[in-house]
């Protein structure tokens, strides 16, 4: 006949405690990975933003140049 082992409240508390041991370290490691990835993404977005702004600046300068030529041609 198999004897069933009764779990006491203290025993249950110890089991739960062991189950949560190290969880804080795992979250810290995950937080570091997320921080690294977000920093990488920020750098990439900054790079894209600079490229787009340079392109729009060039386009705006071209429009202004064309407007000057148009005004000159129409003698305005």
Q: What mean pLDDT do residues 57-69 have? A: 96
Q: Does 19 score more than 90 pLDDT?
A: no
d(CA 3, CA 46): 67
Spans of all domains in the chain: 32-76
Q: What is the pLDDT of residue 40?
A: 97
Does the model's pTM come out above 0.85?
A: no
Structure tokens at 1: 């006949």
Q: Maximum CA pair distance of the chain?
A: 110
Collapsed DSSP state (helix, strand, coil) of residue 76: coil
């Amino acid at each position: 006949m198999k004897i069933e082992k009764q779990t006491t409240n203290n025993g249950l508390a110890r089991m739960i405690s062991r189950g949560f041991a190290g969880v804080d370290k795992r979250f810290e490691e995950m937080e570091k990975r997320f921080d690294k990835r977000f920093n990488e993404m920020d750098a990439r977005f900054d790079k894209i933003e600079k490229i787009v702004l340079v392109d729009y600046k060039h386009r705006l300068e071209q429009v202004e140049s064309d407007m000057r030529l148009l005004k000159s041609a129409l003698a305005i």
